[in-house]
Amino acid sequence: MLQSKRTKLAILASAVSLKALVATCAFSGMVSPAFAVNYIVKGLTGGNSAFGINNSGQAVGLSDQGGIGYATIWNGTSPTYLGTLTGGLYAGARAIDNSGDVVGYSDDSLSNGGNFYATVWNGTTPTMLGLLPGANWSVGLGINNNGQTVGYSNDYGGAGNKDFATIWNGTTPTLLQALPGGDDSVANAINDSGEVAGFSNNRPGGNWVATLWNGPIPTALGMPQGSNVTFAEGINDFDEVAGVSEYTSYEQATIWIGTAPTLLPLLPGAVGSVATAINDLGQVAGTTFYGGGYDVATIWNGMTPSALPGGFGYAYGMND
């Protein structure tokens, strides 16, 4: 399904109700000319969506228990629920670094599900990340191994219902600029060099453009011919970016080397795809769409797509 603001829609829907059961797949192996890979498939208990995984195989995401979303970490296949901010009801985890620190979002006693705040968990202890001046709420989406987190802040500076890509160093937020002329942006992922991948518009109400930030300065990533909307979802430590390009009636997984886009091939019979993560081996994880609601978790080794074991599902995260 084409989405006007992919990550934001997914995260807010997840906080209220869970529509899909997702098994997290941990990927390991060394790349050879044939891209030989070993897969470890983990079925996670607890009624869940898993969005991130680290190199130790710890997975994080959201558990839906009676209509309430709980930020969750899985060590092995058993869930541990992470706490909310003081008095909060809802929380969700989106990414985890290699030391086990988790980033996501939580409400608190004052918002009661109305507003969420970017949150980092050390163990099961949540810490609210600072708000940009005038912002009403925020969401954390990505974390690197140097303690930097990224996401977005809403209504920064009284701008109305706009989102602003944000990076946090510790708990201190810094605005990441939108593309020239733009007024809306989201940061999805950050690598260990501090480079950030996400998307921005380039004029009020304009289409989304996959964006790379080096410091606060944005660079628009190239659009494949015929596409008018792109999103960057993941970035590795070699500055390779994974995401998706949208067309009039379908969307296709895309990688960017520098600013140059390359469309990843579809599995036979597929009607679309999206790439959501890329590891330091250059392997890409995502989802293939077949229509009729049948979607399959997918890995690309180079330009070769393969359906992951388990049938129906989505791949959101990938380790090295």
Question: Which CATH number does the domain housing residue 87 bear?
Answer: 2.120.10.30
Tell me what pLDDT residue 168 has.
98
- 3-class secondary structure, 197: strand
Question: What's the total number of domains in the chain?
Answer: 1
| Residue 48 in domain | yes
How many CA atoms lie within 13 Å of 6's alpha carbon, on the beta-carbon side?
26
| Residue 174 in domain | yes
Degrees to nearest 5, angle at CA 213 with 183 and 61: 90
Distance CA 254, CA 224 (A): 9
Instruction: Tell me the backbone φ, ψ of residue 15, rounded to 5 degrees.
Output: -70, -20
Q: How far is CA 259 from the centre of its chain?
A: 20
Give the tens place of pLDDT for each residue, 9-24: 333 322 222 222 233 3
| Residue 317 in domain | no
Q: What is the dihedral of CA 246, 252, 253, 257, to 10 degrees?
A: -70
| Residue 1 in domain | no
Tell me what pLDDT residue 17 has.
23
Model pTM? 0.87
- pLDDT below 50 — which residues of the chain? 1-37
Tell me what pLDDT residue 40 has.
58
Distance CA 47, CA 205 (A): 37
Residue 80: domain span: 6-312
**Residue 38, CA distances (Å) to 22, 178, 189, 309 in order:** 20, 39, 25, 12
Tell me what pLDDT residue 112 has.
55
Q: What is the DSSP string of 91-134?
A: EEEEEE-TTS-EEEEE--TTTTTS--EEEEEETTEEEEPPPPTT
